[in-house]
Amino acid sequence: MLIIFDLDGTLINTIDDLGQACNHALAACGFPTHKIEDHPRLVGNGINRLIERALPQEHRNEATVLRLREHFVPYYDAHNCDLTRPYDGIPELLKALKAAGHTLAVASNKYQAATEKIVAHFFPNIFDVVLGERVGIARKPDPQIVWDIIEAIGDKAIGDRLYIGDSLVDAATAKAANMPFAACTWGFCTREQLQTAQPDYTISHPLELLNISNIL
């Protein structure tokens, strides 16, 4: 089975490091910062959208977003593993899935360099393909990232597939790619929000995924 995971809010809790980097960029450019606990509502569509949502309404334009990004990216590159941690049960889940012979991939809206670094740091030698935001490639919920994973995997992508994520963006991505969707409720969206997307499965702990038919 090909199992595709979202990264932020699904495999790892990145809010503290994302919030610190966002506040660093805001402060560097003279804008008010936000409480760290307010950042879950800002994430999910890539760094540029995070910055845009964090800015005061009257300053939400491309030039300002790009100016803040110049501060955000170097800071985040240096600190993106400081406070970030895998969710409880994720290492055990991935070990079990790998042992069972499943093909595992990451599909993230985080920019590619940070996605690769974080996955390599926390989950070395686990994933067959790791893709994030790339220049010229539409972000999720566009399904292109799924097609790119399937192309990269080749014959291993033949057969059953499952997409796992914590947001409505992930739900829409899975639907666009015609894949069953498992909604995880430990991330950045509430169970109630996720249920509006009518997921195929809803899980409240990573190891519950092992109870889904055909996983083990």
| pLDDT tens figures, 62-73 | 999 999 999 999
**CA of 198: how far to CAs of 181, 193, 202, 212, in Å?**
9, 10, 9, 16
Mean pLDDT taken over the chain: 93
What does the alpha-carbon distance between residue 1 and residue 148 come to, in Å, rounded to a whole number? 17
pLDDT at residue 41 is higher than 80: no
Tell me, yes or no, if 6 is annotated catalytic: yes
* CB atoms closer than 10 angstroms to residue 30: 7
Residue 43 has what pLDDT? 76
Q: Which residue out of 6, 8, 17, 170 is catalytically annotated?
A: 6
What does the alpha-carbon distance between residue 188 and residue 190 come to, in Å, rounded to a whole number? 7
133: Cβ–Cβ under 8 A, 6 or more apart, which residues?
A: 46, 47, 108, 109, 110, 111, 112, 115, 139
For residues 172-191, average pLDDT: 95
11: its two tokens: 């495999």
Residue 91 has what pLDDT? 97
Q: Where residue 38 falls among pLDDT bands split at 50, 70, 90?
A: confident
**How far is C-alpha 197 from the geometric centre of its chain's CA atoms?**
17
pLDDT at residue 40 is higher than 80: no
| pLDDT over 90 percentage in the chain | 82
For residues 65-94, average pLDDT: 95
Q: Where residue 215 falls among pLDDT bands split at 50, 70, 90?
A: confident
For residues 46-71, average pLDDT: 92
Please give the class, per CATH, of domain 2-13+85-211.
Answer: alpha beta
